[in-house]
């Protein structure tokens, strides 16, 4: 069966085609076309199909990771959106939680406060009120609907977000307003908070719904166009979109809730890593994706990606299940400089893809992490991007000399080494924060680096964190596109409960779970799927009464679910996270969640060639390790066979990346061709 | 000599550790103001109790921790500390605290029998006993009215709670269950910091960690001195008035700032003596306000630690409003007087640094506290309590900046605790919030407009309850800068069910409210910066369309004419010309 994965990046779009019959894989790169995003993606499809000599009719699935949703917000190009709120509350979106936003330095009198997503003149109030328990305190006045419709029409909005107080408990008013507007304004994208994010806390629910509205019209159009154009090529296989939760979903399920696409791009790589872990029997792993401007970290525990229920985009809270990815400004293009008191600083500003690092020779003048890695020998000047881009090491040395080495009074190599080490330490710290904040110890995890730069810092990061096992997957630069193709289909559903466990009964819980399952039936049917082969996973967000943050506890629907099992599951989680429990405090069940998964079955073609009995380095290359220049043996990855073992120090080079491992490590290839680098006992 | 790589690695790890500690606390605390509002802080100190790293947390809690951590350790005796010990304290006179509701836990970090560092966590508790629910009333005779006094004592020994002390403390509050959970959360924060610092010291050596801490302090001091050097030498004087409890006279406050080379001195001589009522500042709060101002007007990229404060000298007469002595009460000194001091300092320095200061702001957490028996029997059962106390901050305006408008509905300067969601308040307590809305014309006019305040109206569902509002700027408006106009004053009231209305003072006495009453709380706005006639007419028109500015104010204050629902550029130009000419004459 032939399947295509497409990952749209900032500069390039990666495309992968796998034919799991004969076990073959093709990949290509095309330019991303931000003005008309579908064009680049379709170009990629045409190119890869022709490269593989395939027939369009043979393509059974296209998995598409898209940055369209994120870009609309980041670039401020969202639709002209109006917000309808309960009377007296139109400023919730602007007031937020009154405190300064998460990015503001609290000593900064000049901090930038982004303008509210919807200008005040487009925030309208509805005469109505529902109490916290769902009781209607003031009924809707249908006479007001006409006026609202007229104002919205006059304002020429493209989308309307509706978020009324306590609508997660009683959505009737939102539904009535939405139904009216859908009829009165058929061309406008209408979205309600009780559909998008039925969950307590009005600011977060409002901002999530407004974001959904702002990206709605364009995402909907993009999804429709993309499907249509793919069909026009002669592909009648399924077209699926990568969601923030790491699962794929068909157009009918994401069209009205494009907010689930916001982290579509970054989710692909992590999802591919999850699948890799399952295939090779690794339970716990940390992933590190080093790109041009950022280093993105995520965590796989017990074979599953860690999800979070809310995320912050441009200081705005968005609540939707998202693969838990932390990002820091330490990518290959991050600029190193000396501050006024002689300290070395990296990022957050980056040379990005244009002009890029100094060594790219595209006009960059500030030394970057990539320039330093090149000087030290961690990047091969000749083999970069298969030799498509020649790296100018002399220019990199000059930039490091002028901006770093001279001011510091050290050699060029020493200055580069300082930058590389600080960079590695920042990345290690990001990993530590991610794991420790969630109650884990990084030493219990393997490390999976990917992205072109990932392997370049992998061993130093593992050393810093006392991690013993590094796994460099096949085609690390393409892992994300690979993820688009092998991810499962997943749907997330949620239901507010807001009751203490001691007030609930197993029967009531079963009834709530059955409600969720019915909603899932509808979602599956909308996607043209059934339950055959589907896996349902229930979980409960719980907290001690009085707390705000919840922890998620799995519920096994097959087992006898009692409130005690949920309570003890919660206690275990709480102990792990925070080192204490409260034996007498009531536990509140806040939300019930259901994730339905339709697994993707695919045989992964092995990338290792031949038998790996004898390996010889194809050359030696100088690398600065720990302040010392050493001649290290280089191997070509594509020449290594399954079972090959190489004792460190060594370099394994491949298209667009290279891995340097020191004498304390030994590398070996598994049957798929993944490189396992293990610390010597 | 420490190598540069180890130094940078350890230095940034210290800040990351402070962040980890805060997260550990936030995710477990019970008081809504801690978990939803984030009124918590964490910091790391060297073995000599000097603050070396802190999170991007509430500044008011961190500056004062410079003093309170030392006091806590000295009070119990450094030699009496063992691994796993944790000291608790809140008292301003016995423990160097900032005000009684902020509880500090201090923990030594040991490696091989030696103290290598200290860590502290601080959280604002929603009740610590005292005269009135919420422990946040200014109307007290002395410090005893403000709640339980906790001198520095052990709350954990060898990582085991000292049950007697814990019980004694929490049962002097109105919500022992929540406070117990708060202690556990703050303890979890110190535990997390201790564990991480030990790991770092094992890996890199305690000596390297110690050297890093010492160098980090010197580094920040060097940079701070370079920044102060760039401020024009001179003596700058200023004065203002702080609002008292009740209708007493305004309280004068004075400052003389002397900039000389690379150091700066703040002399508060001439400030009024301490007064009855909780508006006084202990020295830790005055130091914190002063340090905040210095940090805010210098290069923000200077890593914050105690080294930043070395070039700063503070003279605050003992027994005055800015260095009160036992038994003066202090609760609002920390939340209201403190930002007022900063506003005064910024204004005083405006002639020397016009581009680094902002117009005056609302300057109040503006807490509203409602407490009484919960009439909802189901909720009583679910929450296992009969009594409920709700405290929340309210949203005022920020002063305009030299290149930007002031932000509307925002916490400013030293405070940053957020407000609770309306849905959470209604879920937890018998209050219905009828509106939470920005109020037009509350931001002072200017080339750059001050931020607007938001009004919140509560309808009371308690049979009977107490209500306290504690704010600032009911009588002294936030001034504008460089021809910018003042922002609106604090404006709050209680409307009784029988239709009578009672206006609330900024430092109100405790009121008794009953079912059906309405309480309106509206803090002050922010002052404007620069001449309002210089604000582009389009921007004023846009503000009118959005309802931040009324058409009347557009005409009166900005000289912008709106007729027939449109901007009238010709009439506007004529009016502005006339206003300028009038002014010149």
Q: Quote the CA–CA distance of A679 and B11 in Å, as a whole number.
A: 28
Residue B321 has pLDDT above 90, yes or no: yes
Indicate whether A558 belongs to any domain.
yes
- pLDDT digit string, tens, across residues B112-127: 999 999 999 999 888 8
Percent of chain A at pLDDT above 70?
A: 96
Domain shared by B34 and B131, yes or no: yes
Indicate whether B401 belongs to any domain.
yes
Contact B295 A107 (CB under 8 A): yes
Indicate whether A668 belongs to any domain.
no
- pLDDT digit string, tens, across residues B388-424: 888 899 999 999 999 999 999 999 888 888 898 999 9
Per-residue pLDDT at A79: 95
By three-state DSSP, how is residue A451 classified? coil
Residue A579 has pLDDT above 70, yes or no: no
Average pLDDT, chain B: 92
Indicate whether B513 belongs to any domain.
yes
Domain shared by B561 and B453, yes or no: no
- pLDDT digit string, tens, across residues B254-301: 999 999 999 999 999 999 999 999 999 999 999 999 999 999 999 988
- pLDDT digit string, tens, across residues A123-173: 999 999 999 999 999 999 999 999 999 999 999 999 999 999 999 999 999
In angstroms, what separates the C-alpha of A354 from chain B's closest C-alpha? 26
Residues of A in contact with B60 (CB under 8 A): none
Would you give the DSSP letter of residue B389? E
Domain shared by B190 and B45, yes or no: yes
B residues 212..271 contacting A (CB < 8 A): 219, 222-223, 226
Per-residue pLDDT at B143: 96
Q: Quote the CA–CA distance of A100 and A104 in Å, as a whole number.
A: 6
Indicate whether B367 belongs to any domain.
yes
Per-residue pLDDT at B396: 96
Residue-range definition of the domain harbouring residue A178: 80-214
Of A341, A422, A548, the CB nearest to B32: A548
Per-residue pLDDT at B582: 87
* Total domains in the fold of chain B: 3
Indicate whether A498 belongs to any domain.
yes
Per-residue pLDDT at B33: 52
Q: Which of A666, A671, A676 is nearest to A610 (CA)?
A: A671
Q: Quote the CA–CA distance of B146 and B129 in Å, as a whole number.
A: 7
Contact B68, B450 (CB under 8 A): no
A residues 576..635 contacting B (CB < 8 A): 577-580, 582, 585-586
Per-residue pLDDT at B62: 77
**Which of the listed residues A542, A566, A598 is the one where a domain comes to its end?**
A598
Domain shared by B459 and B578, yes or no: no
User: Which of A50-54, A99-103, B566-570 has the least mean pLDDT?
Assistant: A99-103
B214, exposed or middle or buried, with CB in 10 Å at 0-12, 13-18, 19+?
middle
Q: What are phi and psi of B119, to 5 degrees?
A: -125, 150
**Which of the listed residues B222, B251, B281 is the one where a domain comes to its end?**
B222
In angstroms, what separates the C-alpha of A573 from chain B's closest C-alpha? 12
Per-residue pLDDT at A608: 57
CA atoms within 13 A on the CB side of A412: 18
Q: Quote the CA–CA distance of B348 and B537 in Å, as a whole number.
A: 31
A418: contact with B, CB 8 A cutoff: yes
What is the number of other CB atoms lying within 10 angstroms of the CB of residue A74?
A: 12
B239, exposed or middle or buried, with CB in 10 Å at 0-12, 13-18, 19+?
middle
Mean pLDDT of A294-309: 89
Mean pLDDT of A440-444: 86
User: Which of A11-25, A282-296, B223-237 has the least mean pLDDT?
Assistant: A11-25
* Total residues belonging to chain A: 681
Alpha carbon B338 to its chain centroid, in Å, reads 8
**Which of the listed residues B207, B222, B237 is the one where a domain comes to its end?**
B222
In angstroms, what separates the C-alpha of A492 from chain B's closest C-alpha? 24
Residue-range definition of the domain harbouring residue B203: 4-222
**Which of the listed residues A570, A598, A626 is the one where a domain comes to its end?**
A598
User: Which of A412-426, A493-507, B56-70, B562-576 has the least mean pLDDT?
Assistant: B56-70
In angstroms, what separates the C-alpha of B248 from chain A's closest C-alpha? 31
- pLDDT digit string, tens, across residues A11-35: 778 999 999 877 788 988 888 887 8
**What residues contact A193, with CB distance under 8 A and at least 6 apart?**
A161, A162, A163, A164, A167, A168, A174, A205, A206, A208, A209
Contact A547 B226 (CB under 8 A): no
Indicate whether B465 belongs to any domain.
yes
Indicate whether A603 belongs to any domain.
no
A203: contact with B, CB 8 A cutoff: yes
Residue B77 has pLDDT above 90, yes or no: yes
CATH number at residue A183: 3.40.50
A residues 544..563 contacting B (CB < 8 A): 544-549
Residue A203 has pLDDT above 90, yes or no: yes
Indicate whether B240 belongs to any domain.
no
Domain shared by B463 and B486, yes or no: yes
B144, exposed or middle or buried, with CB in 10 Å at 0-12, 13-18, 19+?
middle
| pTM more than 0.80 | yes
Domain shared by B554 and B456, yes or no: no
Domain shared by B570 and B476, yes or no: no
Mean pLDDT of A34-56: 91
Domain shared by B526 and B541, yes or no: no
B residues 464..523 contacting A (CB < 8 A): none
* Total domains in the fold of chain A: 2
B422: contact with A, CB 8 A cutoff: yes
Residue A613 has pLDDT above 80, yes or no: no
Q: State both tokens at B305.
A: 């630690």
Residue B548 has pLDDT above 80, yes or no: yes
In angstroms, what separates the C-alpha of A433 from chain B's closest C-alpha? 7
Percent of chain B at pLDDT above 70?
A: 97
Residue A102 has pLDDT above 80, yes or no: no
A residues 503..542 contacting B (CB < 8 A): 503
Per-residue pLDDT at A68: 84
Q: State both tokens at B131.
A: 């005269």
Contact B12 A425 (CB under 8 A): yes
Per-residue pLDDT at B175: 82
Q: State both tokens at A108.
A: 């900064």
Average pLDDT, chain A: 89
Sheet strand arrangement including B511-514: B387-392, B367-373, B464-470, B511-514
What is the number of other CB atoms lying within 10 angstroms of the CB of residue B72?
A: 27
Per-residue pLDDT at B549: 97
CA atoms within 13 A on the CB side of A205: 27
Domain shared by B128 and B209, yes or no: yes
Per-residue pLDDT at B497: 94
Per-residue pLDDT at B36: 52
Domain shared by B422 and B565, yes or no: no
Contact B295, A107 (CB under 8 A): yes
Q: Quote the CA–CA distance of B98 and B65 in Å, as a whole number.
A: 8
Q: Quote the CA–CA distance of B549 and B115 in Å, as a whole number.
A: 58
Residue A204 has pLDDT above 70, yes or no: yes
Contact B432 A549 (CB under 8 A): no
Domain shared by B579 and B518, yes or no: no
Interface A–B counts its CB contacts (< 8 A) at: 206
**Which of the listed residues B200, B222, B244 is the one where a domain comes to its end?**
B222
Per-residue pLDDT at B404: 96
Q: State both tokens at A352.
A: 């990005």
Q: What is the distance between the terminal CA atoms of chain B, rounded to a whole angstrom?
A: 69
**pLDDT band for position A375 (50/70/90)?**
very high
Per-residue pLDDT at A606: 67
Question: Dihedral, CA atoms, A505, A507, A512, A514, nearest 10 degrees?
Answer: 160
Residue B494 has pLDDT above 90, yes or no: yes
A425: contact with B, CB 8 A cutoff: yes
Residues of A in contact with B226 (CB under 8 A): 340-341
Indicate whether B471 belongs to any domain.
yes
CA atoms within 13 A on the CB side of B19: 14
By three-state DSSP, how is residue A630 classified? strand
Alpha carbon B350 to its chain centroid, in Å, reads 22
Alpha helices for B400-483 (secondary structure H): 422-428
Residue B382 has pLDDT above 70, yes or no: yes
**pLDDT band for position B167 (50/70/90)?**
very high
Contact B209, B12 (CB under 8 A): no
Of B37, B187, B424, the CB nearest to A99: B37
B13: contact with A, CB 8 A cutoff: yes
Domain shared by B427 and B546, yes or no: no
Of A92, A97, A165, the CB nearest to B418: A97
Indicate whether A536 belongs to any domain.
yes
Residue B38 has pLDDT above 80, yes or no: no
Indicate whether A210 belongs to any domain.
yes
User: Which of A502-511, A557-566, A575-584, B185-194 has the least mean pLDDT?
Assistant: A575-584
Residue A616 has pLDDT above 90, yes or no: no
DSSP states along B196-262: HHHHHHHHH-HHHHHHHHHHHHHHHHHHHHHHHHTSPPEEEEEEEEE--STTPPPEEEEEEEEEETT
Element (H, E) at A82: strand A81-86
Contact A165 B13 (CB under 8 A): no
Residues of B in contact with A549 (CB under 8 A): 26-28, 35
């Amino acid at each position: 069966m032939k399947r295509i994965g497409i990952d749209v990046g900032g500069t390039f779009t990666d495309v992968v085609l796998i034919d799991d019959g004969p076990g073959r894989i093709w990949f290509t790169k095309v330019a991303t076309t931000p003005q008309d995003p579908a064009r680049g993606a379709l170009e990629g499809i045409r190119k890869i199909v022709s490269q593989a000599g395939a027939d369009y009719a043979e393509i059974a699935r296209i998995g598409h990771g898209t940055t369209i949703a994120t870009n609309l917000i980041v670039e401020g190009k969202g639709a002209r959106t109006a917000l309808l709120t309960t009377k007296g509350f139109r400023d919730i979106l602007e007031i937020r939680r009154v405190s300064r936003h998460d990015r503001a330095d609290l000593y900064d009198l000049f901090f930038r406060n982004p303008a509210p997503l919807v200008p005040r003149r487009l925030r309208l109030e509805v005469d109505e009120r529902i109490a916290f328990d769902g009781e209607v305190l003031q009924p809707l006045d249908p006479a007001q609907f006409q006026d609202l419709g007229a104002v919205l029409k006059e304002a020429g909005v493209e989308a309307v977000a509706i978020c009324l107080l306590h609508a997660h408990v009683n959505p009737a008013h939102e539904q009535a307003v939405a139904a009216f507007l859908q009829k009165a304004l058929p061309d406008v994208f209408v979205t309600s908070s009780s559909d998008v994010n039925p969950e307590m806390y009005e600011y977060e629910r409002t901002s999530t719904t407004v974001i959904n509205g702002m990206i709605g019209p364009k995402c909907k159009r993009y999804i429709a166009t993309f499907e249509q154009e793919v069909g026009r090529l002669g592909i009648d296989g399924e077209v699926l979109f990568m969601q923030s939760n790491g699962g794929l979903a068909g157009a009918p399920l994401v069209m009205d809730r494009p907010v689930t696409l916001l982290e579509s791009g970054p989710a692909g790589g992590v999802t591919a890593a999850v699948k890799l872990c399952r295939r090779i029997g690794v339970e716990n792993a940390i992933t590190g994706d080093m790109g041009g401007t950022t280093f993105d970290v995520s965590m796989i525990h017990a074979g599953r990606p860690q999800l979070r229920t809310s995320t912050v985009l441009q200081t705005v809270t968005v609540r939707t299940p998202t693969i838990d990815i932390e990002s820091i400004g330490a990518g290959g293009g991050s600029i190193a400089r000396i501050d006024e008191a002689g300290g070395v600083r990296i990022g957050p500003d980056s040379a990005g893809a244009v002009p890029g690092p100094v060594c790219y020779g595209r006009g960059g003048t500030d030394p970057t992490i990539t320039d330093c890695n090149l000087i030290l020998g961690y990047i091969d000047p000749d083999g970069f991007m298969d030799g498509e881009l020649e790296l100018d090491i002399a220019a990199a040395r000059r930039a490091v000399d002028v901006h770093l080495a001279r001011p510091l009074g050290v050699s060029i190599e020493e200055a580069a080494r300082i930058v590389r080490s600080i960079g590695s330490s920042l990345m290690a710290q990001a990993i530590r924060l991610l794991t420790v904040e969630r109650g884990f110890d990084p030493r219990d995890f393997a490390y999976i680096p990917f992205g072109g730069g990932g392997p370049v810092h992998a061993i130093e990061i593992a050393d810093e964190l006392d991690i013993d096992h590094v796994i460099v997957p096949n085609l690390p630069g393409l892992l994300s596109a690979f993820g688009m193709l092998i991810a499962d289909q997943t749907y997330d559903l949620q239901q507010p409960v807001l009751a203490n466990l001691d007030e609930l009964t197993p029967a009531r819980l079963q009834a709530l779970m059955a409600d969720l399952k019915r909603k899932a039936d509808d979602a599956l049917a909308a996607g043209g799927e059934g339950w055959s082969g589907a896996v349902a996973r229930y979980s409960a967000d719980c907290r001690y009464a009085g707390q705000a943050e919840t922890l998620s506890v799995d519920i096994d629907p097959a087992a006898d679910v009692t409130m005690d099992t949920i309570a003890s599951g919660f206690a275990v989680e709480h102990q792990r996270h925070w080192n204490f429990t409260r034996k007498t405090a009531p536990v509140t069940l806040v939300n019930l969640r259901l994730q339905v998964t339709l697994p993707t079955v695919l045989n992964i073609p092995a990338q290792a060639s031949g038998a790996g009995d004898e390996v010889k380095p194809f050359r030696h290359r100088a690398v600065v390790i720990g302040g010392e220049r050493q001649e290290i043996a280089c191997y070509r990855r594509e020449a290594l066979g399954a079972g090959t073992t190489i004792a460190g120090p060594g370099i394994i080079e491949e298209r667009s990346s290279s891995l340097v491992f020191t004498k304390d490590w030994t590398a070996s290839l598994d049957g798929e061709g993944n490189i396992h680098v293990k610390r010597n006992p | 000599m420490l190598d540069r790589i180890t130094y940078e690695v350890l230095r940034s790890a210290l800040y990351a550790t402070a962040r980890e500690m805060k997260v550990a606390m936030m995710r477990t605390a019970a008081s809504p103001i801690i978990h939803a509002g984030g009124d918590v802080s964490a910091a790391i100190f060297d073995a000599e109790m000097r603050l070396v790293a802190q999170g991007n947390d509430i500044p008011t809690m961190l500056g004062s921790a410079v003093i309170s951590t030392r006091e806590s350790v000295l009070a119990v005796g450094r030699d009496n500390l063992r691994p796993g010990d944790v000291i608790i304290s809140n008292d301003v006179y016995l423990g160097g605290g900032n005000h009684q509701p902020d509880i500090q836990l201090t923990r030594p970090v040991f490696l091989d029998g030696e103290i290598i560092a200290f860590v502290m966590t601080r959280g604002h508790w929603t009740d610590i006993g005292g005269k009135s629910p919420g422990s946040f009333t200014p109307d007290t005779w002395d410090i005893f009215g403000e709640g339980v006094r906790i001198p520095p004592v052990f709350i954990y020994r060898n990582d085991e709670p000292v049950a007697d002390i814990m019980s004694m403390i929490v049962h002097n509050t109105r919500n022992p269950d929540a406070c117990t959970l708060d202690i556990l959360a703050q303890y979890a924060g110190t535990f997390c910091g201790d564990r991480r610092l030990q790991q770092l010291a094992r890996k890199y050596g305690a000596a390297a960690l110690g050297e890093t801490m010492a160098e980090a302090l010197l580094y920040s001091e060097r940079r701070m001195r370079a920044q102060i050097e760039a401020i024009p030498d001179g003596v700058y004087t200023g004065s203002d008035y702080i609002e008292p409890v009740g209708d007493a006279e305004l309280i004068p406050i004075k400052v003389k700032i002397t900039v000389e080379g690379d150091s700066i001195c703040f002399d508060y001589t001439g400030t009024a003596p301490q007064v009855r009522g909780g508006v006084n500042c202990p020295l830790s709060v005055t130091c914190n306000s002063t340090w905040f101002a210095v940090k805010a007007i210098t290069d923000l990229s200077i890593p914050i630690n105690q080294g930043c404060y070395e070039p700063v000298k503070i003279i605050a007469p003992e027994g005055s409003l800015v260095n009160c002595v036992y038994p003066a009460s202090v609760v609002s000194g920390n939340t209201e007087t403190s930002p007022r001091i900063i506003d005064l300092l910024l204004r005083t320095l405006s002639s020397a640094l016009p581009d680094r200061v902002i117009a005056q702001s609302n300057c109040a957490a503006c807490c509203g506290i409602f407490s009484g028996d919960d009439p909802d029997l189901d909720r009583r059962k679910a929450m296992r309590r009969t009594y409920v106390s709700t405290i929340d901050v309210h949203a005022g305006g920020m002063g305009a900046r030299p290149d930007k408008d002031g932000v509307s509905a925002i916490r400013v300067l030293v405070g940053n605790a957020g407000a609770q969601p309306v849905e959470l308040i209604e879920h937890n307590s018998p209050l219905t919030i009828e509106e939470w809305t920005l109020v037009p014309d509350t931001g002072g006019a200017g080339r750059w407009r001050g931020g607007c305040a938001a009004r919140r109206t509560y309808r009371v569902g308690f049979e009977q309850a107490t209500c306290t509002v504690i704010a600032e700027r009911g009588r002294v408006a936030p001034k504008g800068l460089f021809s910018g106009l003042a922002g609106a004053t604090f404006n709050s009231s209680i409307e009784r069910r029988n239709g009578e209305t009672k206006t609330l003072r900024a430092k109100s006495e405790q009121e008794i409210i009953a079912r059906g009453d309405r309480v309106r709380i509206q803090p002050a706005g922010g002052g404007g910066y620069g001449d309002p006639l210089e604000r582009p007419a389009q921007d004023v028109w846009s503000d009118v369309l959005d309802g931040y500015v009324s058409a009347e104010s557009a005409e009166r204050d900005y000289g912008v004419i709106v007729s027939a629902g449109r901007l009238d550029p010709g009439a506007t130009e004529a009016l502005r010309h006339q206003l300028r000419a009038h002014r010149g004459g």
